[in-house]
Amino acid sequence: MFSKTLQKDNYGYLFIAPFFIIFLVFGLYPILYSFYLSFTDWDGFTTPASVGLENYLRLFGDFFFWKTLFNTLAIWIVSVIPQLTVSLVLAVVLHEKFVKGKSIFRAVFFFPNIVTAASLGLLVALIFSWQAGSFNQFLMGLGIINDPVHWTDKPYFMRGLVSSILFWQYFGYSMIIYIAGLQGISRDLLEAAEIDGASKVRVFFSITLPLLKPIILFQVVTSIIGGMQIFDQPYTLTNGSGQPDNATLTSVMYLYDTAFTRYQYGYGSAIAFGLFIVIVIFSILSFTMMNMRTKNEQN
Amino acid sequence: MSQVKTETIQQEKKIAKKVKPSHIIIHILLILLALICIVPFYIMIVYGTHTNADIASKFIILPGQALADNYQYMTENINIWRGFLNSFIIAGCSTALTLYFGALNAYGFAKYKFRGNKVLFWFVLATMMVPQQLGLVGTFRIMYMLNLLDTHLALILPAAANAFAVFFVKQFIDGTIPNEVIESARVDGAGEFKTFNRIILPMLAPALAALGIFAFIGSWNNFIGPLVLLFSNEKYPLPLLVQLLQGYYGTNYGVQYLGVALSVLPIIIVFAIFSKRIIGSVAIGAVKG
Amino acid sequence: MTKKYALFSFLTLLTLMVILAGCSSSSAEEKKQLRIWTFTDEANYAVEKFQERHPEIDVDLLFITNDNYVQKLISVLQVEKNVPDVFFVERSYWPQIRQIPRLENLSQAPYNAGEILEQQYPYIQEEEKDEDGVVRGLGYQGTPGGFFYRRDLTQEYLGTDDPEEVAQHISSWDKIMDIGERVLEESDGQVHALSNWNDIGTVEGSSIDEPWVVDEKLVIDPVRENVVDLAKEARERRVIADYDSWGPAWTASMQQGTVMFYPQPTWGLPHIFESNAPDTSGEWGLAHGPKAFSGGGTFLAMYNGSENKDIAWEFMKFYTTDRDFLKDLAESEQYFLSNQEINIELADELTSDFLGGQKYFEFFNEAGEEVPSAPQTPYDNDINSIWDEKVNDYLNGRLQTKEDMIQAFKTEVGNYFPEIEVDE
């Protein structure tokens, strides 16, 4: 009997084997190979030549690597803070009984999330283009400006625009997740508090918010990993250039340009690992912050 | 008398509810936000029906008459329907692989207590933290070695190893599929794989449906993967064709708007029909996660 | 069960038959197939004519837009999969491509391309060779330039539309700037002399003596620095209109007549002016500017691993030396050739209605003689785009001084290409 179950249990290896084979070939091998390449100089035509730590030394002193990291972080923070707050407010509002047309609002707010990011990037690029963009035409039609504003030449504006696209795409998504979390909080509890005379704002801050904390932290952590990999939106918004003044050049765009348009595969791989280390650091930071907070509260 | 009184009170209450200014303001704000969400899509559709000269000269509100011309012009270089087909092939096959192998793997971890089960499962979870771009250069290399560059398979095969799918389905199996089901199948003499394919898989349908929506949208919208791995225009999925619009029609905004609109409209239609399901699956995914 | 089996075998048989039929039909034709990649739709005309001449060859032409073209080309050359037999390369990428060890050596037999080069303009001959002097590609296009101008505008503001006289008015940048200032004032800010600063860069760029990189060292030729000063002056005196090159406002200005001069090479006539301002036919003229220059150009190269080198060469030869075809091309497509001999033959006959009947082949032949050969490096395309960005930043005021601009430029080049020595 014992040997029989053991035999059956070993079937498990067969069940997980296909996944692991595919993962080794298409997941792990590429990462290890990139790691190997990050110690070489390779243009794709010759054989990779070993250069030791040179790529990493270059990376450390590469002004542009740090600049793209800054850009990525700036874009992420400017989009994620309003994303997580506005969506929370919306979730609470749409959870209220008096609001009409809840499901329509939910659908409309969520919709941009499933639209192809590349399409959104190009669409926004067209709308904000300089001399034929509809946004400028709109402002000129209203008489707010006389000459078209060269939006695409303003670094802060364009970086903000990337953040806006990300916000537009993700606030509805966050809202849906908050609503799912809110549905886990008993209505009776909230209504009891209101009957006791607590204002809605008070109820929100002293009951709803603490109960939603795990969901908020979950969203922060997952958005770090995604946020550090921003590529599609700035790429199509600027037609791949990351301009003006390299302000919309994200780290992954820099990685892509280095490896696949300047054909410095070795250095491109080093950028990938540099970025990975940054993501790991940020993830650890947010995890420890999460733990510290919960510990403090327990105390 | 008292009845009349309560009625009037109720009426007063109703009236009070209707005119409560904060509620009106909230509704107005919601509608405004919804408009901001919708306006770009409206612009996209309307501008796609105008000539370049119109677009460059004024702000447009109503549809124009250049739709056929723009479409004609676009089809000279870009076969958007071919892009749809490619996207369908890639996203459809990827989703099928993700679901089947994700479920198979999850079942293996959930129901067989082999040695190393826990360690390997943690390993799968850990891979979720690794960004896809880390292996970008290496992926290019291995696809070359396997002679898969410039093929749809290069984008489809890796989908069989989706860690999130494993995690998601395992949660579901742990919660809903009792060991007795498997035991009774074994008593009936069914083999292990037959049990999985015939009995377990159908039971996983609700989880797979939700997961399938995620996987399909993710694959449909993938941009950097095909950008690196595909070379031929005729193999391009939609997102890359959208990017090509900038190259072929850099100065023709009407055509670019139309191309973007054609790439987005089907998503609008599908969403209009299935929005409840799609939103539902997002909520499930989040709560499970 | 048996029914199912019968149906299954029937379907299998049917599939087999279809496959067999497909195979036999394709093997019956057995045409030689030539695979060509291009970034320009003008290749269609040549391929059509080539197939008329060689019905035994089947040409598979793939048109990929410029933005992605080079990247894809280099990718397939790296992995040597799906490589086309012949590929078109635009001049800005050519110095990079011609160094790739996958290009056929055309100097050697049986090609002996040196003989073809003798018929071409000196500046093109230089570009066709790699750093070791081996011919790696054939240019089919002659690209000397001139100042295209609106005759109605020069008539109004300069009192003449005669090319010789207009050339007198614009023989130096100083004169052009003076005209620009005056015209802007007289037209109430409507008309500018030039469309953007790249116009100055295009003209001056042909006159550089030193390429960006010499002996692994970054060099900024004084001519390039001078362009920055000229552009700044032009910007400050509002001589240039600042329309994005190839942007919608730029193309619209040709039709509207808000810019007087557009310095452009030969191919600008069909590809820029006729296509963007078709309603203004006859209102244009062509005059020599301050300096002779060339712009763009296209080269044909052959993959050295190709299995169809014979027909690939046949096509390349056809596109650069076939007298009948080239005359056709020049006449019907207004195409100025790299082949000087044929251009000279045609110079007397060819006039352009769009240019008010001007003998434009004669004009470009004169210009072509004068074009200096600007040295190139494989880095040119990357470094040029960094330079242009920095100049833009300087003109727009984001970089305050020219020194800041040059410093920013050097930093960026040094960062992207650590193998290039950059003095700080």
Among all residues of chain C, which has the CA nearest to that of A258?
C416
Q: What percentage of chain B carries pLDDT values higher than 90? A: 33
Contact (CB<8Å) A18/B158: no
pLDDT, position B286: 62
A263 φ, ψ (degrees, to nearest 5):
55, 40
Under the banding of pLDDT at 50, 70 and 90, the label for residue B19 is low
pLDDT (tens digit per residue) in C285-314: 999 999 999 988 899 999 999 999 999 999
pLDDT, position A202: 84
pLDDT (tens digit per residue) in A178-201: 888 888 887 788 778 878 877 878
pLDDT, position C310: 92
**Helix, strand or coil for residue C217?**
strand
> What is the pLDDT averaged over residues B93-101?
95
Q: How many helices (H) and strands (E) in chain B?
A: 16, 0
Under the banding of pLDDT at 50, 70 and 90, the label for residue B248 is confident
> What is the pLDDT averaged over residues C404-409?
94
pLDDT (tens digit per residue) in B104-138: 999 999 989 888 899 999 998 888 878 778 888 88
Give chain A positions within 8 Å (CB) of B157: 22, 26
> What is the pLDDT averaged over residues B57-67?
86
Distance from CA of B131 to the nearest CA of C (A): 24
Dihedral sign, Cα of residue C316, residue C317, residue C318, residue C321: positive
Hey, is the C-beta of B53 within 8 angstroms of any chain A C-beta? no
Rg of chain B over Cα atoms, rounded to whole angstroms, equals 26
Among all residues of chain A, which has the CA nearest to that of B101?
A19
Dihedral sign, Cα of residue C193, residue C197, residue C198, residue C201: positive
Distance from CA of A103 to the nearest CA of B (A): 8
Q: What percentage of chain B carries pLDDT values higher than 70? A: 92
Given a cut of 70, whether residue C406 has pLDDT beyond it is yes
C-interface mutation test, from A37, A66, A68, A130, most C Cβ less than 10 A away: A130
Distance from CA of C277 to the nearest CA of B (A): 12
B-interface mutation test, from A4, A89, A126, most B Cβ less than 10 A away: A126
Q: Round the average pLDDT of chain C to a whole number and report it.
A: 88
pLDDT, position C232: 94
Among all residues of chain A, which has the CA nearest to that of B271?
A111
Contact (CB<8Å) B161/A27: yes
CA atoms within 13 A on the CB side of A283: 17
Given a cut of 90, whether residue B95 has pLDDT beyond it is yes
| Cα pseudo-dihedral B92, B98, B104, B107, rounded to 10 | -120
Q: Which CATH architecture has domain C31-142+296-346?
A: 3-Layer(aba) Sandwich (3.40)
Q: Round the average pLDDT of chain B to a whole number and report it.
A: 85
Q: Residues in chain A with pLDDT < 50?
A: 1-4, 6
Bin B215: left if φ > 0, else alpha if -120 < ψ < 50, else beta.
Answer: alpha
Distance from CA of B222 to the nearest CA of C (A): 18
pLDDT, position A298: 56
> What is the pLDDT averaged over residues C80-91?
90
Between positions 154 and 173 of A, the ones with CB within 8 A of B are 168, 172-173
Which chains would you list as touching B if contact means 3+ CB atom pairs under 8 Å? Answer: A, C
Alpha-carbon span C42 to C120, nearest angstrom: 20
> What is the pLDDT averaged over residues C226-252?
88
Between positions 229 and 288 of B, the ones with CB within 8 A of A are 238-240, 242-243, 245-246, 253, 256-257, 260, 263-264, 267-268, 271, 275-276, 278-279, 282-284, 286-287
Hey, is the C-beta of B190 within 8 angstroms of any chain A C-beta? no
pLDDT, position B213: 87
Which chains would you list as touching C if contact means 3+ CB atom pairs under 8 Å? Answer: A, B
Contact criterion met (CB below 8 Å) for A132 and C248: yes
Contact (CB<8Å) C249/B56: yes
Give chain C positions within 8 Å (CB) of B147: 81
pLDDT, position C24: 42
Among all residues of chain B, which has the CA nearest to that of C69?
B231
Going from N- to C-terminal start, the domains of chain A cover 62-298
Q: What percentage of chain A carries pLDDT values higher than 70? A: 94
Q: Which residues pair with C302 in a beta bridge?
A: C86
Given a cut of 70, whether residue C149 has pLDDT beyond it is yes
Given a cut of 80, whether residue B56 has pLDDT beyond it is no
Under the banding of pLDDT at 50, 70 and 90, the label for residue C361 is very high
Given a cut of 80, whether residue B32 has pLDDT beyond it is yes
Q: Which helix (H) or strand (E) holds A41?
A: strand A40-41
Hey, is the C-beta of B221 within 8 angstroms of any chain A C-beta? yes
Give chain A positions within 8 Å (CB) of B113: 9, 12
**Helix, strand or coil for residue C171?**
coil
pLDDT, position B2: 47
CATH topology (fold) of C145-293+374-416? D-Maltodextrin-Binding Protein; domain 2 (3.40.190)
Alpha-carbon span A235 to B227, nearest angstrom: 11
* C261-265/C298-302 β-pairing: unpaired
Neighbouring C-beta atoms of residue A151, cutoff 10 Å: 17
Given a cut of 90, whether residue C263 has pLDDT beyond it is yes
**Which has more confidence, B7 or C315?**
C315
Contact (CB<8Å) C82/B232: yes
pLDDT, position C405: 95
Give domain status of residue B144, yes or no.
Answer: yes
> Which structural domain, as residue segments, surrounds residue B125?
78-248
Measure Cα distances from C396 to A55, A154, A175, C181, C238 in Å.
Answer: 35, 10, 41, 20, 13
pLDDT, position A206: 84
Residue in the block written with tokens 């785009």: C385
User: What is the number of domains present in chain B?
Assistant: 1
pLDDT, position A7: 62
Burial C201-223 (b: 16+ CB within 10 A, else e): bbbbbbbbeebbbeeeebbbbeb
Under the banding of pLDDT at 50, 70 and 90, the label for residue C19 is very low
Contact (CB<8Å) C67/A240: yes
Contact (CB<8Å) B56/C63: no
Q: Tell me the two tokens of residue A177.
A: 């997740």
Q: What is the CATH number of the domain that holds B94?
A: 1.10.3720.10
Given a cut of 60, whether residue B13 has pLDDT beyond it is no
Hey, is the C-beta of B248 within 8 angstroms of any chain C C-beta? yes
Between positions 224 and 253 of C, the ones with CB within 8 A of B are 246-249, 251-252
First to last CA, chain B: 58
B210 φ, ψ (degrees, to nearest 5):
-65, -45
Q: Where are the alpha helices (DSSP H) in C257-359?
A: 268, 275-276, 309-321, 323-333, 340-346
* Residue pairs spanning A and C at CB distance below 8 A: 45
Give domain status of residue B7, yes or no.
Answer: no
Given a cut of 50, whether residue C154 has pLDDT beyond it is yes
Q: Which CATH architecture has domain A62-298?
A: Orthogonal Bundle (1.10)
pLDDT, position A102: 87
pLDDT, position A2: 42
> What is the pLDDT averaged over residues C378-402?
91
C65, C76, C247 member nearest B248 (Cβ): C65
Give chain A positions within 8 Å (CB) of C75: 260
**Which has more confidence, B190 or C73?**
C73
pLDDT, position C27: 44
Alpha-carbon span B224 to B240, nearest angstrom: 9
B55, B144, B233 member nearest C64 (Cβ): B233
B161, B196, B224 member nearest A23 (Cβ): B161
Hey, is the C-beta of A285 within 8 angstroms of any chain B C-beta? no
C65, C81, C248 member nearest B247 (Cβ): C65
**Which has more confidence, A297 or B187?**
B187
Give the ipTM of the model, two decimals please. 0.85
Give domain status of residue B193, yes or no.
Answer: yes
Residue count of chain B: 289
What is the distance, to the nearest Å, from the Cα of residue C126 to the centroid of all Cα atoms in its chain? 16
Alpha-carbon span A54 to A269, nearest angstrom: 12
Neighbouring C-beta atoms of residue A36, cutoff 10 Å: 16
Q: Which residues pair with C192 in a beta bridge?
A: C259
